[in-house]
Structure 1
Amino acid sequence: MAEREHLRITGVQAVSALGRGADTLLAGVLAGAPAFTPVRRFDTTGRRVTVAATLPEVGTLADELTDAVDRACRAAGLDRTHRAGVALFLATHGGPHSLPARPAGGGDTAPEVPALAGHLARRCGLGGRTRTYTTACVSASTAVADAATLIGRGDLDRVVVAAGYLVEPDQYALFDAGRALAADGAVRPFSAGRKGLLLGDAVVAVVLESARAAAARGAPTVATVAGWGRAGDAYHPCQPHPEGRGLARAVEAALRRAGLPAAAVGYVNANATGTPYSDASEAAALGRVFGAAAGRIPVSSTKSVHGHALEASGLLELVVTVLTLGHGKLPVNAGWLGPDDTCPLDVITDAPRPAPTPHALTLNAAFGGANTALLVSAP
């Protein structure tokens, strides 16, 4: 498959605090009502912040991921025969708290990473190779880029990429102690007065296939992954380069790989977490790539609605982007208080907008200076 023969997304499934299923996710992000509520899953006594975007009823992470993978495969029309050689790339944080214990007498406990990937593959009938990604907030988008690369050069026909994070006490405590969580209980990306991020649940799976493999099955095309890019800036362990150099290089690589000019991009689903420094850096990155046009491209960060799902963020936001493109409407950036001079962007604040083109970027960044960009197109 030629590198520019776009990769097909043929099946998706997503669970977040907005609810279960792709249709519920789409409706939630277009409604733009933040899903942050008081945390009931564990004790937050003594914490500076006590809210997150959590789904009230969840199973173990292993069970939730199994269900998501199975539903994505069924949406793609993959029966047990077609699943036999399918690879599974899994992005997750792992650890005991991200795998909630079953009730007493509930059977086998869920395994921890990295055994979790093999466990999921067996349960879902996926007989290909497995990989596990634990590279913080670019885990899932890196998995998608790796899958696209391997499919693009003909090593694999199809890959299921899955990702999961359920808000748990350890990471919650770290972000709270580091004063990264928004004390006012709202995520306000790119806005004046933004105070920080809030965590959120996400369990997501997508099926990626070569155009040839998808066509051979007559599989539906949800969207195409036209380009992808990764870059590091090595500026600081926790802060991105103030000029957004690494993220800008990732976006430029995605555009080159897609063979599209910057002017083709009609929407950016931003990484923006609502923290002052990183949002300004991302705005600077968009300015480096798009120049004066950066202020005319519709931008929003749907973390303002569903929260930051850490390792699963990249996959949840990829699904949000392709669903909204397919629907022809772009989601709002909730929590907006007013413009900030460090973020001179066209932020979608009042209501969803019509999508001006079929091409969009979804961006992610992580501690350590890691940056990813995925360029997707409506079918």
Structure 2
Amino acid sequence: MSEPALRAGITGLAAVSALGRGAQAQLAGALAGAAAFGPVRRFDVAGRRVTAAATLADAGTLADELVGVIDEACAGIGAAERANTPLLLGIHGHPDAGRSATATTAGFAAAVAARAGLAGVAKVYTCACVSGSTAVADSAASIRAGRSGRVVVAAGYLVEPDQFALFDAGRALATDGAARPFSTGRTGLLLGDAVSAVVLEPVGGREVLAEVVGWGRAGDAHHAVRPDPGGHGMARAVRAALVRAGIGPDQLGYVNANASGADGDHAEAAALREALGTAGVPVSSTKSVHGHGLEGSGLLELVVTVLAAQAGKLPVNAGHLGADPACALDLVLDAPRQAASPYALTVNAAFGGANTALLVKVAA
């Protein structure tokens, strides 16, 4: 007779974004629908088509911010326990890559782990905007299979000139200073700082903030940067998460969408309709307030999703100007909505057609 699968719980979390420092600042901003976009002052944007992003005025280096959120998430874990806890890290690469022959991604990750007092780096994820969510899915799978104990997952991006220039040159950034997910009149995404950490471990030890009950990953194989218009890859990821959790769409209480205010929002709406049917699940995208944190986005959105589910309040889909018929969903508009279920889903998509879905459950 086989042993029952272990359960993967989130026992610590922390985040930094333009909404502020600390988990509660993220929740407060998301519930208020208070977008944090403003003029970029971190580097020169003269001559750029777009000059706005969501940046934290007092942000340190990426390494400093990663160590800070790891320390906060690991509060209550002793030094000896930390020394036996590995790090899974989602980043774009070494911040100085291309400018220094010794600036390697592996070296950067190892330095972060050492400064945070962790056992070392188990894996570095550089898979664009699904980096953090993929790391969480891998960690949950490993814990449930009994292959690992406590792990720390961290991911981070601070708005910097190279990626900003690429997105601006590609005309992907919003020209009106606001990200408007699923809205008519949306003009693009806006970048934002996103640095987060979560601690995952088998349920049964420390107090659990939320349980990772399901996850799914699927590829579009459609285009290098554009999503499948029908959203079929994302729909498969969502269905896989529901199946792993053993629940139906009617039991789901909230979806924190990937939507950024770009043209591809309609593909995600199609995916959610395909995967969830007529369940009428409330949806919003917290990118509407904290911006798109690239490699850091998935983990920041997981943190916000867990906090919202704990609070029993659903974040606002900010910046909405009016209904887009191609994005017909039950959007949370104007004010937070009471949660009707302890189950919440967060989804992410990345260039190359990668899609992830993470499903959490908080204590009812």
Give the TM-score taking structure 1 as reference length.
0.92
Alignment pair present for 1:300 and 2:284:
yes
Q: Which residue of 1 is the match for residue 174 of structure 2?
A: 182
* Residue of structure 1 aligned with 2:227, choices 209, 221, 240: 240
CA deviation vs aligned residue, 1:317-370 (integer Å, no higher than 9, x gap): 000000011011000001000001101101111100000100011000001110
Secondary structure at the aligned position of 1:70 is classed as helix
Tell me the CA shift for residue 260 of structure 1. Answer: 1.2
Distance 1:28 1:266, change over 3 A: same
Structure 2: give runs of 5+ residues left out of the alignment.
Answer: none
Q: Which residue of 2 is the match for residue 367 of structure 1?
A: 351
Distance 2:103 2:232 in 1: 39
Q: Which residue of 1 is the match for residue 183 of structure 2?
A: 191
Is residue 62–residue 111 contact of structure 1 (8 Å, CA) maintained in 2? Answer: no
Is residue 183–residue 321 contact of structure 2 (8 Å, CA) maintained in 1? Answer: yes
Identity percentage of aligned residues: 62
* Residue of structure 2 aligned with 1:119, choices 105, 111, 129: 111
Is residue 7–residue 152 contact of structure 1 (8 Å, CA) maintained in 2? Answer: yes
Alignment pair present for 1:15 and 2:2:
no
Distance 2:79 2:235 in 1: 41
Q: Which residue of 2 is the match for residue 24 of structure 1?
A: 25
Mapping for residues 245-260 of structure 1, pairs under 5 Å? 245-260=232-247
Structure 1 letter corresponding to 2:292: H
Comparing 150-159 and 192-201, the one that deviates more? 150-159
Distance 1:129 1:145 in 2: 17
CA deviation vs aligned residue, 1:190-221 (integer Å, no higher than 9, x gap): 01111110000011010000114xx2xxx221
Alignment pair present for 1:87 and 2:86:
yes
Distance 1:306 1:150, change over 3 A: same
Secondary structure at the aligned position of 1:67 is classed as helix
Structure 2 letter corresponding to 1:263: D
Alignment pair present for 1:78 and 2:80:
no
Is residue 2–residue 153 contact of structure 1 (8 Å, CA) maintained in 2? Answer: no
Tell me the CA shift for residue 6 of structure 1. Answer: 3.2
Structure 2 letter corresponding to 1:283: A
Structure 1 letter corresponding to 2:198: V
Tell me the CA shift for residue 84 of structure 1. Answer: 2.1
Mapping for residues 1-379 of structure 1, pairs under 5 Å? 2-3=4-5, 5-74=6-75, 77-96=76-95, 112-212=104-204, 215=205, 219-276=206-263, 278-293=264-279, 296-379=280-363
Tell me the CA shift for residue 292 of structure 1. Answer: 2.2
Structure 1 letter corresponding to 2:172: A
Distance 1:114 1:280 in 2: 37
Distance 1:98 1:270, change over 3 A: farther
Distance 2:96 2:39 in 1: 18
Distance 2:134 2:218 in 1: 11
Is residue 118–residue 130 contact of structure 1 (8 Å, CA) maintained in 2? Answer: no
Comparing 125-134 and 91-100, the one that deviates more? 91-100
Distance 2:4 2:349 in 1: 28
Is residue 210–residue 306 contact of structure 2 (8 Å, CA) maintained in 1? Answer: yes
Q: Which residue of 2 is the match for residue 107 of structure 1?
A: none
Distance 1:265 1:112 in 2: 41
Distance 2:56 2:246 in 1: 40
Comparing 349-358 and 112-121, the one that deviates more? 112-121
Distance 1:261 1:302 in 2: 24
CA deviation vs aligned residue, 1:67-120 (integer Å, no higher than 9, x gap): 11111111xx211121122110000112436999xxxxxxxxx96512122112
Distance 1:8 1:99 in 2: 38
Pairwise CA RMSD of aligned residues?
1.8
CA deviation vs aligned residue, 1:279-308 (integer Å, no higher than 9, x gap): 110111111112222xx2110000000000
Secondary structure at the aligned position of 1:292 is classed as coil
Structure 2 letter corresponding to 1:230: R
Comparing 113-122 and 203-212, the one that deviates more? 113-122
Tell me the CA shift for residue 59 of structure 1. Answer: 1.2
Is residue 96–residue 112 contact of structure 1 (8 Å, CA) maintained in 2? Answer: no
Structure 1 letter corresponding to 2:66: L
Give the TM-score taking structure 2 as reference length.
0.96
* Structure 1 moving runs of 4+ over 6 Å: none
Is residue 193–residue 337 contact of structure 1 (8 Å, CA) maintained in 2? Answer: yes
Distance 1:95 1:87 in 2: 19
Comparing 150-159 and 330-339, the one that deviates more? 150-159
Distance 1:58 1:253, change over 3 A: same
